[in-house]
């Protein structure tokens, strides 16, 4: 390749300054914090690395300050909170809601997004559901419901999982990608495990899997589902 009359090897450009990709490279913002029991730092670094493998640049913030800066948020294709519990100021809540409604993707897992910012009804509505308990901890089967989604492409029809099984309150308008049977106090129900939705122009993905980062090594299908969901929310699939 020639640049201003000088020959520059393409391998050099792709390695140190990928001009072809720089203008179109997507960007993700991870927010890491909240309850330490979910090991948010390990979760975020795991999926940050996965997105980088997919040519998505990532920033990691350990405060929620960025959420109040809507103009900054608009520079990202994806926001991924890993912040079990915690609270948002009005400015942070309004900024996040506005950014996603305007087209920035939102994706997260387990308590990092499904149990984040308890009592913030607008946030819970945007996510499409929220955690209320995990009366079952142990083995269960995750069943894929939408085989046509790019998020579930390549996944088996079902896969075994062993961890906290979240019981959640769900917006009936979400599009369920995967579910599982739930038996609690003798009552049988079907509980969504992963879903997608739209919030204005923004894409939203959520999966209840992932209490412990080690689960994504032990259950690679859960890892693949999460990575694809994040990429979809970022507009990369």
CA 115, 120, 123: angle at the middle one, nearest 5?
Answer: 75
Please tell me the predicted confidence (pLDDT) of residue 24.
78
Class of domain 15-233: alpha beta
Q: Give start and end residues of each alpha helix (H) in 33-105.
A: 40-53, 70-73, 90-101
- Asked if the model's pLDDT at residue 58 lies above 90, the reply is yes
- Domain residue limits, the chain: 15-233
| C-alpha closest to that of 204 among 96, 120, 58 | 96
Q: Which residues pair with 138 in a beta bridge?
A: 163
Please tell me the predicted confidence (pLDDT) of residue 89.
98
pLDDT in tens, 11-47: 343 444 444 455 579 999 999 999 999 999 999 999 9
Residue 11: strand, helix, or coil:
helix
Cα–Cα distance, 103 to 227 (Å, whole number)? 19
The reply to whether the predicted model has a pTM over 0.95 is: no
| C-alpha closest to that of 233 among 172, 110, 149 | 149
Four-residue CA torsion sign, 181, 148, 125, 82: positive
């Amino acid at each position: 390749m020639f640049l201003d009359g000088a020959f520059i090897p393409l391998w050099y450009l792709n390695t140190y300054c990928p001009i072809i990709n720089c203008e179109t490279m997507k960007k993700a913002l991870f927010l890491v914090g909240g309850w330490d029991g979910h090991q948010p730092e390990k979760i975020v670094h795991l999926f940050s690395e996965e997105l980088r493998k997919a040519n998505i640049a990532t920033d990691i913030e350990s405060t929620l300050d960025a959420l109040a800066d809507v103009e900054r948020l608009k520079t990202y294709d994806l926001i991924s909170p890993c912040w079990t519990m915690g609270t948002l100021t009005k400015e942070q809540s309004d900024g996040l809601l506005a950014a996603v409604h305007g087209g920035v993707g939102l994706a997260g897992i387990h308590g990092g997004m499904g149990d984040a910012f308890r009592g913030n009804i607008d946030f819970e509505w945007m996510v499409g559901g929220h955690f209320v308990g995990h009366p079952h901890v142990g083995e269960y089967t995750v069943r894929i419901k939408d085989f046509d989604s790019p998020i579930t492409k390549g996944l088996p029809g079902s896969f075994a999982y062993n961890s906290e099984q979240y019981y959640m309150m769900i917006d009936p308008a979400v599009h369920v990608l995967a579910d599982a049977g739930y038996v609690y106090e003798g009552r049988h129900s079907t509980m969504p495990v992963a879903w997608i939705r739209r919030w204005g122009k923004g894409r939203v993905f959520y999966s209840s899997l992932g209490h412990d980062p080690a689960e994504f090594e032990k259950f690679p299908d859960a890892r693949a589902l999460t990575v694809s969901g994040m990429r979809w929310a970022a507009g990369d699939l």
